[in-house]
Amino acid sequence: MQDYWPYIVIIVAGWLATDMWRWFGVLAGNRLQEGSEALNWVRAVATALVMAVTAKLVVFPTGTLEASPLWLRLAAAGVGFAVFLLAGQRVIVGVVVPLAILGAGLLWL
């Protein structure tokens, strides 16, 4: 049992550190009105964070995607976004189209 104490401490500390913020989010979120400026700000920040991570993955990828040329990754992202908008903002279209473009481009290269 003594060998497991570091793992137990890491699990408990990790759970407390993240779970606390989840509960704060639930408590704060229950008090926000659906169309409030605060909720609009939270949505804008969340969207910006997702887009920043996406841009980082497209421009500075790791793993297998690192071997693909930048123009292919940018083209897949751009065409995928355009098709996503044209398809009525269907998420599955926004995921499948760029993957198909990347797959086809990597096979062609």
Q: How many residues does the chain have?
A: 109
Q: Which amino acid is at 47?
A: T
CA distance linking residue 83 with residue 100, whole number of Å? 12
| Residue 9 pLDDT greater than 70, yes or no | yes
| Residue 77 pLDDT greater than 90, yes or no | yes
CA distance linking residue 14 with residue 89, whole number of Å? 36
3-state SS assignment for residue 62: coil
3-state SS assignment for residue 86: helix
CA distance linking residue 94 with residue 104, whole number of Å? 16
Domain boundaries, the chain: 62-109
Q: Which amino acid is at 109?
A: L
> In this structure, what token pair is assigned to residue 61?
């990828």
The band of 59, judged by pLDDT with boundaries at 50, 70 and 90, is very high
The band of 81, judged by pLDDT with boundaries at 50, 70 and 90, is very high
Q: What is the pLDDT of residue 12?
A: 85
